[in-house]
Structure 1
């Protein structure tokens, strides 16, 4: 019965990282048990004299997991644990000679079930809570190869994500990247990326700060809104005692400090991070420019009473970038400053009713300058200054009435912004191809939008009988800063869970998801000076999950998204990696009246077996825009995607190898004029051909050393270890033929080559 309950608890959450029960340990090797506990986020350091190979578990322990289990089986042999750093323990001899004491009796307390999660498409990442519902522990995410120590690259390993290997956040289930909302400790973050006009390779979510990420790839509940595709809800670590970190790698220098105060009623945390890419740029063979960026985070929380808690969070970042291309004929400079401040008050009115209030202020400053000077071809200047301010107040309530659990609340935001954009661009005749007409483009825009975003939601969950759980909700959103009246956007949601057997769970979900154009998303660079109406997408999702006795979990999920009332967007058909997208000849307007995304995702996960664990996922998907009477693939459409990950963790060593593959993304092959042999721009053939398939083999090796004070983590990492050419961009190069004529050949450039990294982190 107990093992059946554990399987139900695992499956009821929809998360596949369920640790196997460590039962019948009597007679097992003590060292093997400690290695198994490594999968629960614990590191044990010892030698063969302290824990010899023939040391066995003498009696069945009462504890079932974690430190309690480790301490119990070691105590029977006169051994104990000494904490060297958070989650790092040295096995030492116990001076009290605990081996003479009989082992404690086995506990017979009933096992508690975890929270029932009804939503489909939900994963929980990066948590040190070893409850069965967790998909990946924090240590496992830290062990993953992730370029620039980027936390969000863990999300890209999950089914449904489309990755190019550069951006920290890619399209989710066919949606644009801006269809994903990112939250930190309850606050939605606007533009939380470094180098955001240069493919946003690094987010403001410092991997050392993040304790957990709850990720919805679709079908998210009513408390979340105003996005059409996905939700990333992150929370920071909360050390209760004094703790310090200092680290340096190829990409970052970082420091973190935490302490408790007020007789244990308060906690404080502060961290800072600086990018090292600008320092490394001076060693490059070519002068590509210099990116400098930094960020910092601070949090203080205090328990006013046993039922009332208050906290203050601050997140700030600054960027200063210079970039060059084509021997300096194209140059860009950008400065960004982000600041987020929020105060949270939580109160438990009773054991069944609780509330949370979040007051916030966000300040964003973006400045961009650019020039292009290509004699005989084109010349131009770009000036782009934008500032935005958002003041918000959010109320959340949870009320458990026994048969029903309700969540309800609302939010009001005051927003105001200023744009100052100008472009002067002169293109000479015969550029980019002979016969191309010349042009002069002048744009001026300085809108100053101001207004409100208001929302309210209600969400209810109930259990019917022994097998059914239903969650339903309703959300209403209104925006007024665009100077027009789009009316109220009403978003109903419904999720159903059916427990087919103790090992098998079925889920289904449906919902409507609206997305307004953010105050910071006005497309002035493409000549758009007014906001579009809100878009929406309908999600239909069904999933099946099964836990096999052999230590494997299987999840199969099918989804379909129908987009309606889509807004036009602008893309570069041939080369997305440019300094000034709006100044390129291949810039086109994509005006689709609707779109459809659909797919089937399969995830098989191997629960930890000794030092080994891993996963394998496969996704078939397609996403198309309805343009006129045709279905045109979106530029990130990938029919097949496979992710394979294997982790080996033993003692102080951890090694992870991940291979990511997906079908080649669509691209455009320009038609060649049969008379002149010159390519010509034809939007009707956009995305009718495909690039070669993408594949990246990434690996990371970490060794933890016990120091006289704390512990030292040393890692090496390779991104795209085989240095595979993964095409991203197309350029038409003129070639001189033997007969003196000129022909044009497509020349491909690639995403990132092999990128090595290494670093150290001191924890004490």
Structure 2
């Protein structure tokens, strides 16, 4: 046997190599079949303090499979582990040797590790531990916010990594049949300018964040008591948001159409199910996402053509070979598969869901059938290049029958197919210059047919067929110019085509016939085609004025040709400031101008409008303070003002916003504001405990008003006071969460009965002059999760509106005769969702 240890140690001493080589990138030659001895020699020649015996590592010893680890130290340990070898640190030199005892001969033990920030003592999440034997089992302990590692007894040198922290090398010790605890403290990296968040009104709902209103991970969203495990509904837990039955939120007094949803760089076109009836659910599978960012205001100039808010959804990035999930619940049946391919150079995500409501609901009230498919394939031909292909298909075949009596029938059917495909190319050209290019094609075909038959009031029918095609190319560039300036610029081009074929007819009788400002009959027929293009350009500079003050400055220009409006485009300047008052307190100030054009798919043909309106404009100012008291408590306050003198006219139903044939109802009115004033104060607090107990709370004081014909009128979703509070208790297997929401009643319009010479007549009061009673809902959820031979089994039970409170939404009225023979107004209320129980299971394997 030829021993080279002595000579090698001398060589190491002469080289004087003292750098931490665990941070070095993994060489390309670490592939299956490569000689391990040759790899070690190459590392040694480059100055790595490494020693081995040729008896342990003969020339014929080969790499079994390419390592998955992304740092060099862990990768070397990984290729050695396949041959029952490892690295030992001896006086600054890494020595190759046998693992002391085979894993099979040692009784396992458990090490419970908690990872904390070395400066703030906060719990660190998103941690990865490498260097453990393949037999090790890692499990997240939610109650202790720690990682439980079950390994054979012994000592293990490991490498710990976490986003935003320096790599930590440590040794953990496991004792046979014992549970040991350890705390590892990670040093945070100095935040680079590229990662500083300057904008106000931004919330992260990230996979590895803590369960509070400014942070929800994938698991937490699933465990939050929101109808249908819908990640977009989870947005409604943020301050300043509200919604009725719809999954689409109102953000800070804006309408639902003013909020955009971007999935992996592509702005989605109508990503909702049952979208012609309140858009009840989004088409995004919560288990297929990695995280969500929500801008309730002050979003960067990279994103435009929106005046409300922005929801950025990032899909799941698989960190293991293959994993599969099967779910079955009241709302849907689903299959998810995700994993890495080609030794980590590629990964995929596939989600398929089918709605179950058509199988559960009584056929007499409808059959809402729907499904969605999402798939993504990513490939990294080099460390600097990432290519991805995404596909989303949303299909609805919905029948809704609110009234099924022979003398009073209302029914609508809707068949919709929405297909979206996009390619993305992310390139790191140099250490400072990078780009993202996205090419997408969206196609939507929908057919809506409805009838209403109440011979005493109304009879009518409609047919609404639409085809929308949008092809879009957008490219974003980023240049890290120096330590003080981060430049960004980009452009967007899109070609749009839309075809409309709409027909409707309606006749009014009885009390509907005598309503003010209504004709007895109405008929519409619109056949229209729209084609054209839109473009946008933007530039921005994130400027570090000094170590405390950072500015984000930008300008954007948008232009549309298909609208035929007489303008030269829309200029949108924006500026945001971040001032670090101290390590725990940040002050934020922003001002921006935001435009939103009318989309080619938003022509209001159902209300007889065949022209596009000019882009609406909002000017927005925000002042905010966020304060981190300690590792457990955080507080946040924001004051916002949004004003506009250019609002697109729209249509509403004064008494029944839940109608399936809204354009046929006699309470349909046009709202054409000359001005809009939206303002509010948001206060929120959150507590993150070490024992699995969290809570959060928020209060919002706001108002959302339109000025119509010189009169200030509250918007139909205005709520002056709103509060939310939530708690979450997590254990190893069981978790419980509850969330309560209360807000001022939404505005309503009064109905009166007046008598004149011709008899009693129904008249309307001033629009939105009164209020429904206050809204309250308490939602609760219980989750159970346990390991099985094949993976994990999960079960949940949740109740929405657990107190079954009647929260009024709508007014129904008629004229009746009392016992004295007098004509009186018969008025009643309809309500938002009643108590809704739901349950489901999930198998992970």
TM-score higher than 0.5: yes
* Aligned counterparts of 1:298 and 1:509: Cα–Cα separation in 2: 37
C-alpha displacement of 1:86: 12
Q: How many residues align?
A: 706
Tell me which of 200, 206, 223 is aligned to 1:126. 206
Please list the CA deviations of residues 61-92 of structure 1 after superposition, one character each: whole Å capped at 9, or x if unmatched.
999966898989xx9xx999514799997753
Q: Give the corresponding residue for 2:314.
A: 235
For residue 737 of structure 1, report the CA deviation from its aligned partner: 2.1
Matches within 5 A, 1:291-690: 291-328=368-405, 329-402=409-482, 403-431=484-512, 439-549=520-630, 551-675=632-756, 678=760, 680-682=762-764, 685-690=766-771
Residue 607 of structure 1 deviates from its aligned partner by: 1.8
| C-alpha deviation, 1:346, in angstroms | 1.0
Among candidates 75, 79, 82, match of residue 137 of structure 2: 82
Of residues 301, 304, 317 in structure 2, which corresponds to 1:222?
301
Q: Specify the alignment match of 1:723 in structure 2.
A: 804
Alpha-carbon distance in structure 1 between the residues aligned to 2:715 and 2:417? 32
Between the aligned partners of 1:530 and 1:117, the Cα distance in structure 2 is 40
- SS of the residue corresponding to residue 263 of structure 1 reads helix
What is the rounded CA distance, in whole Å, between the counterparts of 1:132 and 1:670 in structure 2? 42
Q: Deviations over 1:470-504 (max 9, x none)?
A: 00100000000123442210000000011112221
CA deviation profile, 1:403-435 (whole Å, cap 9, x unmatched): 200111011000001000001112235436699
Q: Secondary structure at the match of 1:431?
A: helix
The gaps in structure 2 that reach 5 residues or longer are 1-106, 156-172
SS where residue 472 of structure 1 aligns? strand
Question: Aligned to 1:187, which of 254, 266, 271?
Answer: 266
Q: CA deviation at 1:113?
A: 3.4
Look up the SS of the partner of 2:150 in the other structure.
strand
Can you list the C-alpha shifts for 1:319-339, whole angstroms capped at 9, x where unaligned? 001111222511111101000
**Aligned residue among 779, 782, 797 for 1:698:** 779
Deviation at 1:551, TM superposition (A): 2.5
Q: Could you say what secondary structure the match of 1:453 adopts? A: strand
1:51 CA displacement: 8.8
**Quick check: 1:545–1:555 contact (8 Å CA) kept in 2?**
yes
Shift of 1:134: 7.0
Please give the secondary structure, in 2, of the residue aligned with 1:219: coil
CA contact (8 A) 1:538 1:562 kept: yes
Give per-residue Cα distances to partners, 1:716-736, cap 9 Å, x unaligned: 000000110000000113343
List per-residue Cα deviations over 1:140-186 (Å, max 9, x = no partner): 2221011011111111000010122x211121111110000110000
Q: Distance in 1 between matches of 2:518 and 2:212?
A: 64
Moved more, 433-442 or 335-344: 433-442
Work out the CA distance in 2 between the residues paired with 1:111 and 1:266.
28
**Are positions 1:732 and 2:813 aligned together?**
yes
Q: Deviations over 1:300-323 (max 9, x none)?
A: 010122211111000001000111
Could you say which structure has the larger radius of gyration? 2
Q: Distance in 2 between matches of 1:333 and 1:602?
A: 43
8 A contact 1:85–1:763 mirrored in 2: no
Contact 2:116 2:185 in 1 (8 A): no
CA distance in 2, matches of 1:484, 1:387: 22
- Superposed displacement of residue 681, structure 1: 3.9
Pair 1:572–1:269, CA change in 2 (3 A): same
Q: State the Cα deviation string for residues 246-298 of structure 1 (Å, max 9, x = none).
A: 0100001000112322222111121100000000013x7xx211100000011
* Structure 1 residue 206 displacement after superposition: 1.1
Distance 1:81 1:69 in 2: 16
Larger mean Cα displacement after TM superposition, 119-128 or 104-113: 104-113
Give the distance between the partners of 1:238 and 1:351, measured in 2 at CA.
23
**Deviation of 1:706 (Å):** 1.0
- Helix, strand or coil for the counterpart of 1:154? helix
Cα 1:86/1:371, change in 2 over 3 Å: farther
Distance 1:61 1:535, change over 3 A: closer
CA distance in 1, matches of 2:430, 2:838: 51
Separation in 2, partners of 1:343, 1:458: 23
**Are the equivalent residues in 1 in contact too, given 2:678–2:702 (CA < 8 A)?**
yes
Using structure 2 for the length normalisation, give the TM-score: 0.79
Residues 86 and 198 of structure 1, relative CA distance in 2, 3 Å threshold: farther
Does residue 92 of structure 1 match 2:147? no
- SS of alignment partner, residue 278 of structure 1: helix
Greater relative contact order (Cα < 8 A, sep 6+): 1
Q: Which runs of 5+ in 1 are unaligned?
A: 1-48
Give the deviation of 1:546 after TM superposition.
1.3
What are the superposed Cα offsets for residues 224-257 of structure 1, whole Å, 9 maximum, x if unpaired? 1001010001011011321100010000100011
Aligned equivalents of 1:104, 1:707: Cα separation in 2: 27
1:138 is matched with which residue?
218
**1:427-470 C-alpha deviation (Å, 9 max, x unpaired):** 23543669997612111111101000100111110112221110
Cα distance, 1:438–1:538 mapped onto 2, change above 3 Å: closer
Deviations 1:106-147 (A, max 9, x none): 778564437211100000103226899972332222210110
8 Å CA contact retained: 2:288, 2:349: no
SS in 2 for 1:238: coil
1:204 corresponds in structure 2 to 283
Q: What is the TM-score of this pair, normalised by structure 1? A: 0.87
> Residues of 2 paired with 1:479 and 1:57: CA distance?
56
- State the match for 2:191 in structure 1: 113
Sort the Cα spacing of 1:59 and 1:691 in 2 relative to 1 into closer, same or farther, 3 A.
closer
- The 3-state SS of whatever aligns with 2:233 is helix
Alignment CA distance shift 1:553-1:481 (3 Å): same
* RMSD, matched Cα: 3.2
1:271 pairs with 343, 346, 351, which one? 351
